[in-house]
Amino acid sequence: MSEMQTAMKSKEPLFSKKNKKLITDPLSDNNPITIQVLGICSALAITVQTQQAIIMFVSVLFVMVMGNLTISVMRSLIPSRIRIIVQLVVVASLVIIVDQTLKAFQPDIAEKLSVFVGLIITNCIIMGRFEAFAMANKPWPSIMDAVGNAVGYGWILIAVSLVREVFGSGAISIPGAGQMKFIPEAWLMTGEGGFYLHNNMMILPPMALVVVGVIIWVQRMRNKALIEDH
Amino acid sequence: MAVNKESNSYTFLFSIAMVVLVGSLLTFISLALKPFQNKNDADKKKMDILAAIGVEEVTRTNAAGLYQQHVIGSKVLTYDGRDTLIIDSVKDATGKVITDTLTAFEIDVKKDFRDKKLANSDKYYPLFIAKNAGGDTTFHVIPMVGKGLWGPIWGYIALLDDNITIAGASFDHKSETPGLGAEIKEAFFESPWKDKKIFTDNGRFVSVRVKKGGGSGDHEVNAITGGTITSNGVDEMAKRTLGIYRNYLRPKP
């Protein structure tokens, strides 16, 4: 009886506290963008429209989960001297798969994301998770970790793009449905009449940095433990 | 059997196996997806051509059908404006296109433009002949490629059958700045091209210039504020391309 209990205990449930923490931690207290400040390049570049941010998030989620899983499964086979190269090959091939699939089935969005899908390869978050987590953990926790970090990255991306698209273009866009403008044409200060002007600065990359900065500010205001001592 | 993972031979074997595996996987995926991607590219091209002649509500799904309906033929021209006489659409007695081998359609003007070794005089110039929905107006649609600020820009200009007046234009770009140069594909930039003339009244070729600070008259359109380099790119592209097609549109006596 007691033997059975120990056997059951040694098999960790799929959503144990520890595993859940792997998902929830990167959402806020250990967010890859706002806390670790990784993956900033793409956060600045593709957050002009929400649909781009959503597709980017899904792409990163796919690359991250498949990559973490692959690396974790192979972790005892990978020669340590070439492990970074192996990680690079894994992430590069996954990104090529995503890029080609987007070009085949979501051509309009692939056009907009253009070079940034390719740049998922250099997204520091992914290589960081491969090296720091998947190389040392079992496949299931690695998947959890990948989901957590990708969602942590994704929600910041979507939040930033919402702000930028609403104020920059007066619209919201969803993949498949396209862009929906909600500011009536008559309000716009084009030609005669109108009183409203889109904030063109929101469309430029520096504003993404400002929006991310505001998120970091709010986050540290709510959780004082995140503030570093100097 | 204990394998020394740190030995050179293991590292080599691992690398070789990895490269072969990944290589074949990617080749397979690329080959499997190629037909879809080619179809997307062709659809996009058809959408652009249809946009230039003013067909509305063209989507990726109905582009092919509408293209069949509107584009009644095409020509492949040489640099000096001669028709290469490639017969690329076979029509039955009523004028309906039976087969369209799309020779002109398959000319990749973007690739030709990138090819620095290929002289302008050695390139072939596709021309599409299209009809409007009513069938009472014929257009000549001219594809063009040029340079923007960050990458290629391209477009199609449709001329009425007087070969002088522009019936419509559509532009697109690869990576121009959103909100600035990228606006060349918006209606406010494209629609003023309509009714502009590329020849003066006494027959001199002037193209349509993209002018900073407000274009006026028959031969100018307004440039985009903050998108100067892209606007200049459109200007150069139109002048150069129409300048080549003029040999066909209005041969010198």
**What mean pLDDT value characterizes chain B?**
83
Show which residues on chain B lie within 8 Å of chain A, measured between beta carbons. Answer: 5-6, 10-11, 14-15, 18-19, 22, 25-26, 29-30, 33, 36-37, 40, 43-44, 60, 174-175, 178-179, 188
A57 domain residue, yes or no: yes
The residue of chain B with its CA nearest to that of A85 is B15
- Judged by CB atoms closer than 8 Å, whether chains meet at A204 and B179 is answered as yes
Token pair 């946009």 is at which residue? B51
Closest CA to B238 of B150, B115, B147: B147
Confidence tier at A8 by pLDDT (50, 70, 90): very low
Query: pLDDT at residue B90 above 50?
Result: no
A103 in contact with chain B, both atoms CB, cutoff 8 A: yes
pLDDT of residue A7: 45
pLDDT of residue B94: 56
Domain count, chain A: 1
A179 domain residue, yes or no: no
Coil, strand or helix at B20: helix
Distance CA A88, CA A58 (A): 20
Per-residue pLDDT, averaged over A180-195, amounts to: 73
Confidence tier at B99 by pLDDT (50, 70, 90): very low
pLDDT of residue A2: 47
pLDDT of residue A90: 92
Least confident of A66-70, B98-102, B168-172: B98-102
Cβ–Cβ contacts within 10 Å for residue B157, how many?
27
A9 domain residue, yes or no: no
A138 domain residue, yes or no: yes
A176 domain residue, yes or no: no
A107 domain residue, yes or no: yes
Q: Which domain holds residue A141?
A: 33-169+200-219
Estimate to the nearest angstrom the gap between the alpha carbon of A12 and the chain centroid.
28
User: B204 near B155, Cβ under 8 Å?
Assistant: no
Torsion of CA A205, A208, A210, A215, to 10 degrees: -170
Q: Which of A70-84, A98-112, A187-201 has the highest mean pLDDT?
A: A70-84
Report which of residues B90 and B29 the model is more confident about: B29
Distance CA B166, CA A120 (A): 43
Chain B hits for A108, CB-CB cut-off 8 Å, are 60
Q: Note the pLDDT tens digit of each residue in A12-65.
A: 677 777 778 888 888 877 788 887 778 787 788 788 888 888 888 998 999 999
